[in-house]
Amino acid sequence: MDTNNASGVNITNTDGAHTNPLVFINQNDVSGAGAYGLYIDSENAAAVALLVESAYTTALQVNGMCQLYGITVSEKTDDYTVTTSDLGKSFRMRAGAEKTFNLPSVGIAQDGARVTFVKGDASKVIINAADTDTIADSSAGGTIYNDTASVGDVITLEYYHAITKWVLLGGSGTWVTT
């Protein structure tokens, strides 16, 4: 363990064998494949707040309570086609008129990917599924929309590849599928 670092946090660089450390940073995944990973175990702490800012962190495992900050927010004012590199972002539409987000064509590599949409004004927001994907109980290639006058309504979707569906993880407001 490295106890001489400036943060005072114990950091280890081993093959994954750990006994309740507060923070465990590992440059090899459990299989030894060489992927970068970050393991946090807050069993001995009430909570851990962590800011992850690394192009190399490809895995994060948390046991206990953790707050993550730094989700990319992108504000749009016109129709927008979400790309697979946009997955994980939060989009706000502030157009003053009806606008559409088009979801990307996705596959097994995007299984579990999430995206959030927020209404930034009272205009109608439409989210359109690609290909034969569905959104909740929509038809294949269907849509989900919110046309209420409320501001700040939100929806978070996660892609579930085994059923080629964007499942609704949460949200607020009235969202209607077609």
pLDDT at 155: 97
pLDDT at 65: 58
- In degrees, rounded to 5, the angle at the alpha carbon of residue 105 between the alpha carbons of residues 152 and 118 is 5
CA 101 to CA 145: how far, in whole Å?
10
pLDDT at 64: 61
What top-level class would CATH report for the domain 73-177?
mainly beta
pLDDT at 71: 83
pLDDT at 26: 39
pTM: 0.64
Sequence ranges of the chain with CATH classification 2.60.120.640: 73-177
Using 50 as the pLDDT threshold, list the residues of the chain that sit under it: 1-58
CA 149 to CA 56: how far, in whole Å?
42
